[in-house]
A and B are shown apart, each in its own frame.
Chain A
Amino acid sequence: MSSTTIPTNTTVPVAGAELTDGTKRKVRDMAGCFIKRKAAKEKERYTVGEVVCMAVVALLFCVVAFPVFYALAQSFRTYSEITIDPMGLPTRISFDNYARLFQDTAFPQATLNTVIITVTTLLILVVILPMAAYGIERIGGRSSRALYLLFLAGLMIPFQVRMIPIVKTFNTIGLYSTLTSVILVHLGGAAGFGILLYCSFIKGVPVEVEEAAEVDGAGKLRTFWQVVFPMLMPVTSAFVITNSLSFWNDYFIPLVMLDSSSAGTINVAINRMMGLLTSQWELIYAGAILSLIPSVIIFAAFQRYFIKGMAVGAVKG
């Protein structure tokens, strides 16, 4: 089926056959048989231009990633080593700084807080966002458009615009400096982009499928969760991945919403280590490296969806 539906995107006529031949070909090449394979050769050859591109990309990566490599190297050194010779390399791999981070500072609690905020916010969003987007799309008519535009307006409202009244309100109702407050603010902030993303995708979901389910006696709620929601998986994964990073990495919202009565999030905790007179550089470097690990894991695990998800987001924007 697939071989007939993919007509002409490469110079190789039957891409699949070429792939399955791959191992065989390698063996033959190694044996020294110089068989001319016009189609395959086109793909194998490295042109000068391509190698130059590779070199430039690799070089730029090293330049941009330098601060992180630097922090990683410094996180194994002591405070005096860092200040005496800032460009020195660690003489030994010592995890003392990491151990101290967990024993002497609020870092463990801050990590837990960050995890709670990120996970709870995402769980709630994944339930209420697709439902809302589905509702907006299926109400139809003018109210559909109005709701959509209302949510879209949220994209143009940065947190700074609404933070003073939010702090005021949370102070009044006693939620200030709780994790709940951070979660609620995140929920509101993520709505605009989420609705945009989900709505553009739901437009492509055929109504007939839902009607069939309803004829079979399923209620609206069940139809949604059992029929529509599974079809939204590509958007959901894209949404979860990009937002998990932005919640994890966020600094401004927890900085405003959490005062010293809370251990804060990782970023807030690191910020508090930057004292006015002396900063604990070695701990800050270690904390910075630790906070990167979950992001890298999330990215590595979902890399494929990441790049696809970006494409989904780009289609409509």
Chain B
Amino acid sequence: MASTTATPKSAAQRSRKYMARRNKITMFLFVVPMLVVFLCMVILPSLQSLQLSFTDWDGISDTYDWVGFDNYVDMLTSGRFWNAVRNTLILGIGSAFVINLISLGMALLLDHIHHFSGFFRTIVYLPALVSAFIASTIWKYMLNYNFGAVNSMLRKAGLAGLTRDWLGDQHIVIWVLLFLICFTLGGNTTLIYLSNLQSVPQELVEAAKVDGANAWQVFRNVTWPMLAGSVTVNFTLSLIAGWAIFDQVQVLTSGGPGFVSETMAFFVYRVGFGEYRAGFGSAAAVILFVVVMISTVISNKFLRDREIQA
């Protein structure tokens, strides 16, 4: 206190620059704790993955040899890897589309409910509280061939012909997984759509109606363009989540039967930890990252462009 009054004017001016710099350093110190954790837990390990992907490390021994691009070549020429890619595309893109469709539908329904709206919002959100793991665990038993609820219901209803080994039949297993992943009311995604829907100015909707637009036309030409922002957010987030689908696969099928239902995320886990090929697994991890990055950038770019047009 006393020192500020005692400081000469010229010194105060000179020290303005110094103060600004000091200010910057202090602000940087604020960032340091989070930055250190982030670098150690996210950035450095990712770079290390890149490094390990050029080795034949088995995950246990202390030494490993450099093998250049062998891992990548092996992977890109193996049918198992491409099968995992195919599954990831089906589950990732499929679930992103279906979940967004469901969420948008739920949001539109909720938008029309004016009585007890809080209650209805709550019940739409409640299923999202059940984790993918718990839901998959319950489904695993419901889909059990001999003692599961689904098959026993079918048998009781006289539809024994429809019973399947839902998780053991290689022709349907991936579609069963897709169905289970999409068996949701959307949770967060729905809430984001809903909050966007409710911010659509009613005047626009009224004006369209006055001009003689039907419900579909109002939605197509007024509501839908106004939703562009949340479509971008939701679709990008669902896609990122879709590429990393793991819990459902691990619990329900463990990638089986054989390797049929492996996804890329599961492939990395199984190869890296289950088969003692950490170098090979790292190469798969690097490819997974590239896929996530490219798809995020493309989906964001594409959807953002649409936003500006709208």
Using a CB–CB cutoff of 8 Å, the interface residues on chain A facing chain B are 43, 46, 49-50, 53-54, 56-58, 60-61, 64-65, 67-68, 70-71, 82-83, 85-87, 128-129, 131-132, 134-136, 138-140, 143, 147, 150-151, 153-169, 184-185, 187-189, 191-192, 195, 217, 220, 224, 242, 245, 248-252, 255-256, 267, 270-271, 274, 279, 281, 284-285, 288, 291-292, 295-296, 299, 303, 306-307, 310-311, 313-314, 317
Contact = CB atoms under 8 A, between A and B. Distances in A.
Q: Which applies to chain A's interface (DSSP): helix, strand, loop or mixed? A: helix
A252 B281 CA distance: 16
Interface string B236-257: 1100100110110011000000
Contacts of B129: 245, 292, 295-296, 299
Given A161-B289, A256-B273, A296-B129, A189 B30 contact: no
A307 B191 contact: yes
A67 B142 contact: yes
Contacts of B123: 57-58, 61
Interface in B179-212: 183-185, 188, 191-192, 195-196
Interface in B41-61: 41-46, 48-49, 52, 59
Chain A to chain B: the 10 pairs with minimum beta-carbon distance, closest first: A188-B41, A135-B30, A249-B131, A317-B233, A165-B48, A132-B34, A162-B45, A251-B133, A135-B31, A158-B244
A179 B113 CA distance: 45
A56 B12 CA distance: 70
B114 interface: yes
B43 A150 contact: yes
B159 interface: no
B244 to A, nearest CB: 4
A160 B269 contact: yes
Contacts of A317: 229-230, 232-233, 236-237
16 contacts: A54-B115, A58-B120, A67-B139, A128-B34, A132-B31, A135-B31, A154-B43, A155-B240, A156-B296, A191-B42, A192-B42, A292-B129, A296-B126, A314-B229, A314-B230, A317-B232
Contact of A252 (B35, B140, B246, B264): B246
A131 B31 contact: yes
A163 B126 CA distance: 31
B286 interface: yes
A188 B52 contact: no
Contacts of A163: 45, 268-269, 272, 285
Given A61-B124, A245-B129, A166 B244 contact: no
Nearest to A294: B129
B249 to A, nearest CB: 11
Contacts of A139: 24, 27-28, 31
B246 A156 contact: no
Nearest to B48: A165
Contacts of A132: 30-31, 33-35
A291 B33 contact: no
B85 interface: no
B130 interface: yes
Given A50-B112, A64-B184, A245-B129, 11 more contacts: A53-B110, A85-B152, A150-B38, A151-B38, A160-B244, A162-B45, A164-B49, A164-B268, A267-B133, A306-B125, A314-B195
Contacts of A249: 131-134
B40 A160 contact: no
A86 B125 contact: no
Interface in B112-160: 112-116, 118, 120-127, 129-135, 137-142, 147-149, 152-153, 156
A295 B235 CA distance: 25
Contacts of A166: 41, 45
Given A165-B52, A224-B30, A314-B192, A189 B41 contact: yes
Contacts of B177: none
Contacts of A131: 30-31, 33-34
Given A159-B244, A166-B41, A70 B120 contact: no
A281 B38 contact: no
Contacts of B288: 158, 160-161
B30 to A, nearest CB: 3
Contacts of A168: 48, 52, 59, 278
B174 interface: no
B41 A184 contact: yes
B46 A187 contact: no
B113 A156 contact: no
Most buried by A among B130, B140, B244, B278: B130
Contacts of B34: 128-129, 131-132, 191, 195
B121 A307 contact: yes
B236 to A, nearest CB: 8
Nearest to A265: B133
Contacts of B229: 314, 317
Contacts of A314: 191-192, 195-196, 229-230, 233
B106 to A, nearest CB: 7
Interface in B7-32: 23-24, 26-31
A86 B49 contact: no
Given A87-B152, A156-B293, A299-B125, A188 B142 contact: no
